[in-house]
Amino acid sequence: MLSIRLGIRPAMVQRRAISIFLVLGFIRCAEPSATSSNQGSTTPTASNPSVEQGKLTMSVVGSTQTTENLGPFIQGTEAPLFVNIALQNRTTRALPLAFVAFSVETKQGLSYRGDPLTGVIEEGCDEGASLLPDHDSRCMIAFRLHRGDDGVSVRYQDGDVSASARFDGSACHACGDECVDLSHSNSHCGACNAGVSDGETCVDGVTSCTSGDVRCGQICVDLKTDRDNCGACGVVSPSGACQNGKPACNGTCGDACGTSSDCKTIQYPYCDLTLKRCVASCGDDSQCSASPATPFCKKTIGECVECYNKTHCEAGYVCRLDRCRVSP
């Protein structure tokens, strides 16, 4: 997943005090090799058989075209295209990363130069930076396209050194007054106005959980820490604490126990067989075995009940309000 932060650099756009955030989902193109790095920490790569010596190699990591949150920076039908590029310099001289060295061609037969909007992006190629020989870098260039333009190739040119790369830069989609990338927009994921919830992001037009989280039902959770989904969906930590995907006491357990009959206090009435400690709420039916009248653990409330679905009741009875009652 690629996260892009758009924030005003001090020297850009008349020093306006505006901060813009744009989050993209998975990029359609393949990631560059592990030897590439962000321009702020470029590293030498002495030997890479896939990179032709004596030349500059460029590839496109991903792209998006959008007007979301860019109101102060665009006019009319403008719809900026942001292209994330990976560069590998195997020439004998330093190459400037200024946006004017880049251009993009569109399916419509137009060519656009790199735009000063590059300086608004924190990941943008630095206007004053150069890529040293035998170093790799990755940064982003902005191009001020218009709605309906489809980027197809990006080019770098500095004197006798040049490189180009093709990519699929499909034009953005109109949603009201905005033009957005339905593949990446968290406000318009797959369709206009189809926003994602907290803890979710838009990946290829589909709502997905953010990195490290897992979908359990309708929500995204961290299985390492979620008390109601501890280690796996639906596994409740009776103590209310989940550490590294396993139920934990975390200072909220009672005495040691073997069964719930060993737990004598109102505060900790259930025995967690994993922890072998008395806990405040039940996590499975085994913790309710000491009470024949309430043998089932209702995990949503963490208490032992007579029933929580009709299969717990005899024929002619239904489960209502956690009790087996005569069927009407």
**pLDDT means per 10 residues in the chain (328 residues)?**
45 33 35 36 50 84 88 88 95 96 95 94 91 96 92 95 90 85 87 86 86 84 88 81 76 78 81 79 80 86 88 90 88
Q: What is the pLDDT of residue 43?
A: 52
Asked whether residue 147 falls in the same domain as residue 245, the answer is: no
Q: What is the pLDDT of residue 25?
A: 34
φ, ψ at 21 (rounded to 5°): -120, 135
**Does any domain span residue 55?**
yes
Domain that holds residue 317: 219-326
Cα separation, 164 vs 151, whole angstroms:
13
Last residue of a domain, one of 174, 209, 244: 209
Q: What is the pLDDT of residue 17?
A: 27
Last residue of a domain, one of 209, 241, 266: 209
For residue 81, give both structure tokens: 């295209």
Rg of the chain (C-alpha set): 29
Q: What is the pLDDT of residue 12?
A: 38
**CB-based burial of residue 284 (10 Å sphere; 0-12 exposed, 13-18 middle, 19+ buried)?**
middle
Count, residues in the chain? 328
Asked whether residue 103 falls in the same domain as residue 174, the answer is: yes
Q: What is the pLDDT of residue 244?
A: 82
Asked whether residue 130 falls in the same domain as residue 278, the answer is: no
Beta carbons of 145 and 79 less than 8 angstroms apart: yes
Q: What total of structural domains would you count in the chain?
A: 2
pTM: 0.57
Asked whether residue 113 falls in the same domain as residue 20, the answer is: yes
DSSP 153: E
**Does any domain span residue 214?**
no
Cα separation, 273 vs 290, whole angstroms:
13
DSSP 172: P
Asked whether residue 107 falls in the same domain as residue 205, the answer is: yes
Q: Residue 292: which residues within 8 A CB-CB, separation 6 or more?
A: none
**Does any domain span residue 117?**
yes
Q: What is the pLDDT of residue 95?
A: 97
Last residue of a domain, one of 179, 209, 239: 209
Q: What is the pLDDT of residue 58?
A: 95
Asked whether residue 141 falls in the same domain as residue 64, the answer is: yes
Q: What is the pLDDT of residue 156?
A: 97
